[in-house]
Each structure stands twice: as structure tokens, then as C-alpha cells.
Chains A and B, each alone.
Chain A
């Protein structure tokens, strides 16, 4: 079965401290269907490592991880 993604879900966790970006992301991911993509924006520098480890541990795919002007952007695909 295929599912059409009409828009990428966004989550803004800027200003939140570790581990809240992960907690909020885990909650948001639960609302999505398998294969859906979530784009997360965070400012906590620790989140770079945390998102990589979280994706690995939960089996979700981290498609992108980059930083623009002090804002970290993570793109995740739900497994």
C-alpha cells in the first residue's frame, strides 16, 4: 500500500533544552504513519548527537542533519 505525502510535517523545538527536543519528537512521530517525514528545528547543540542516537535506537531514519545560523534541522522518516 502506498500513501501520498502531501506535506512534510514540521516540529519547532527551538529554545527547548535537552532532552525535550527528543521527547517532543518522539510524541510527534507517534502521530505519523510509517514512511511519513518529519522536519524538526532545534537550537540545543546537544541535539545533533541526540537525534542521531535516537534515530539509531528507534529504527527511524535520519535523512538529514544540518545547521543554518545556529538552528539545527533534522529530517526524519518514520520506520
Chain B
């Protein structure tokens, strides 16, 4: 009998896992991707949309075109997982059974958790938000810009630093820099949680007159006063406020009792198996692992999950494990970038920002649709 493998989520992790499973198992399994929209979004592009450096059109593709023809795609919203009966229920009333389940459900943003944020603060974590911010920036004539983070974890840890550096660059180019003050609100005493990256970025901040407001953990926005307040009890005034919204796991995870308080799924750091249900594997943002929530993590985890499930289906002992590998680019403005590569055991040693890495990031952005979902980038 064919093994039934169900993958929830058609993002980078789910798509790559499904395609790799079909490659490895052929006729020995049926592989189904369940996704609420059937559209695959390339989220790293939102940063460029917000800054007016890219339009939104190339950031979405029909998921069907990215999946191997032997992968079934079901466009449904899953609203309940029963890990004992091994079935996934759909909001529409249907359901699907599984032998192995892959949770690649990602994260969602919940700006409403920060009082005053919705309406007053801008964000670039959704396409709609990025487009709104682009319009705001077009109208911007100088003033106080505050950029900050409202909760941990959030997707793409370098994004707020990248945004600040690229925005400062843009304001310079538009002749608005002398009339503007650009400040990054940081939850710590440095620009970035990763110390090595902070050491590289902070001198650039100093050179370009970007302010760093340390130990400023955003708690609320007061749109009437035009201020943002921190847990530490401080206040800062803005003319333009750009915040990374708080993130949570999906409602499906909460409803199924499979996650922790934040909706993140307790996951073994090496096998990527659910900590209590061994037929459930977890990829990407959905996990509770203390590593970056980013496409690169999902990209590195998906083949490992596929290989482990394939081994189990064939009655073999799974061999591959995840070592915490992360790789990301960090734009530093002026068409330069650096990279952060690290794993559980090795902190990153970022190279000096160079045009090369900026070009590499752009190349990756452009090549994504033709390489990553198909497993062509190891």
C-alpha cells in the first residue's frame, strides 16, 4: 500500500519537501500539499517593494507551477489536526488522512497585539504593508524615522537593520537626509542580536549618522502624540514609524493543541520531528527552534525532513540530521551586502560588506523561482 504523506503549507519548505519526497519515493507514496491560497510568495522581496526598488508582481507564483506533477495540490484551509487519528480537517468540512505529516505552515503577523500600531505604524512583512509603506515613503519630505522590532521571534532577523541602512541611502539620494533623523530601536544594547553582525554594522551606523536607541522594547504606539513607548519606560517621537509586527504560529497549530504559547511547534532540533508525535515533522518558521525564522532555514530543513520520511517509508533508519544551518544576506546600503552563515555550533563570521554579496543576493532573488522549489540549490 502507498504511504500517504501530507504537507501543510506551500511556501519554500513545503514545496521543496514535497518535490524531494516524490523524487525519493516515486510510486511508493502519495504526496499532497495543502495550502489555503495555492499562491507561493517570495517574501524576501517585500523589503525591496517597500523601498521602491522592485514591484510586487514577481513575488507571487501559482504553487501548482512549482510542484512536481506527481504532487497533488489541494487548496483548502486546514483548521484541525488530529495526531491520534492521523487526519487533517478542512474548514470547508472535508478532511485528509496521513501516514506522515509535514507542518510547513509558517508564521503570521499580529500587529493588533501592539496598541496603536495598526493605522499609525507601517510594516513591510506583508505585500499590502510593503505597498502602503512605499506610498508613505514617496510622500515623505523628511522628519524623524523610527524603525523597530515589537517582539521576538520575527522573520528574517537582519531585515530591520537592512531597512534602516537602505532607507538612509535612499534619503541621501533624494536630498532628504539633512532634514531627517533615522533611528533604530533595538531590544538590546547593540544593533543586532548576533554580536559579530553588530560589530560590523554599528560602525556603518556611526559613519552615516544613524542613531541607535538601545534597550528599547516597543510596547505601544500613541498615534495622537506621535510617540512610541517602551517596556523600559521610555518614549520616542516619530514622523514615520516602521515596525516589525509581532509574529505567532498559525491558528491551526493552536486549535490542534500542537504548539506552545506562541503557537510554535515543539520540534527536535536534529530530527525535526514533533516532540510528542513522531509521525509529524516540522519545517521553517513553524518550529520552536531558537534559530532564524527565514526561508533559508526552511530551504535547508526540507530535504532533511524528506530524506527522513523517505527512509521511514522504505523501512530504513533515517540518517540525515539538521545541524542548525542558516545562511542569509544582509544589505548594508550603497549596493553592498554581507552574509551571515552559521549553525548550532558555529557563530557567523560575516565578511566585509561588498558589491559581490549584493549582486549574489539579487541573483538569488531572480533565480529563486527556477531553482529553490525544485531543489536545484543544495
Question: A residues within 8 Å of B by Cβ?
Answer: 17-20, 22-23, 26-27, 30, 46, 50, 53-54, 57-58
A23 touches B217 (CB 8 A): yes
The answer, among B152, B195, B214, B217, for a CB contact under 8 Å with A57, is: B214
Chain B residue at smallest Cβ distance from A56: B189
Contact A58:B232 (CB < 8 A) given known A18-B193, A23-B187, A50-B189: yes
Contact A20:B152 (CB < 8 A) given known A26-B232, A27-B231, A50-B188: yes
The answer, among A22, A27, A30, A58, for a CB contact under 8 Å with B188, is: A22
Question: B residues within 8 Å of A by Cβ?
Answer: 152, 187-189, 193, 195, 214-215, 217, 231-233, 290
The answer, among B187, B195, B233, for a CB contact under 8 Å with A22, is: B187
B214 touches A30 (CB 8 A): no
Chain B residue at smallest Cβ distance from A15: B290
A54 touches B189 (CB 8 A): yes
A26 touches B189 (CB 8 A): no
Q: For the complex, give the distance between the alpha carbons of A22 and B186 in Å.
A: 12
Q: For the complex, give the distance between the alpha carbons of A58 and B232 in Å.
A: 8
Q: For the complex, give the distance between the alpha carbons of A57 and B214 in Å.
A: 8
Q: What are 13 A-B contacts defined by CB distance under 8 Å?
A: A18-B193, A19-B187, A19-B188, A20-B152, A22-B217, A23-B231, A27-B231, A46-B195, A50-B188, A53-B214, A54-B189, A57-B189, A57-B215
Chain B interface, >50% SS class: loop
Residues on A with beta carbons closer than 8 Å to the beta carbon of B217 = 19, 22-23, 26
Going nearest first, the 8 A-B pairs with the smallest beta carbon separation are A53-B189, A17-B290, A19-B187, A26-B231, A19-B188, A57-B215, A23-B217, A26-B232
Residues on A with beta carbons closer than 8 Å to the beta carbon of B195 = 46
A22 touches B215 (CB 8 A): yes
A26 touches B152 (CB 8 A): no
Chain A residue at smallest Cβ distance from B215: A57
Q: For the complex, give the distance between the alpha carbons of A10 and B15 in Å.
A: 45
Nearest Cβ in chain B — how far from A49, in angstroms? 8
Residues on A with beta carbons closer than 8 Å to the beta carbon of B187 = 19, 22-23
Q: For the complex, give the distance between the alpha carbons of A19 and B152 in Å.
A: 8
Chain A residue at smallest Cβ distance from B289: A17
Q: For the complex, give the distance between the alpha carbons of A18 and B194 in Å.
A: 9
Nearest Cβ in chain A — how far from B262, in angstroms? 10
Residues on B with beta carbons closer than 8 Å to the beta carbon of A54 = 189, 215
| Given A26-B231, A30-B231, A53-B214, 5 more pairs with CB closer than 8 A | A22-B187, A26-B215, A50-B189, A54-B189, A57-B189
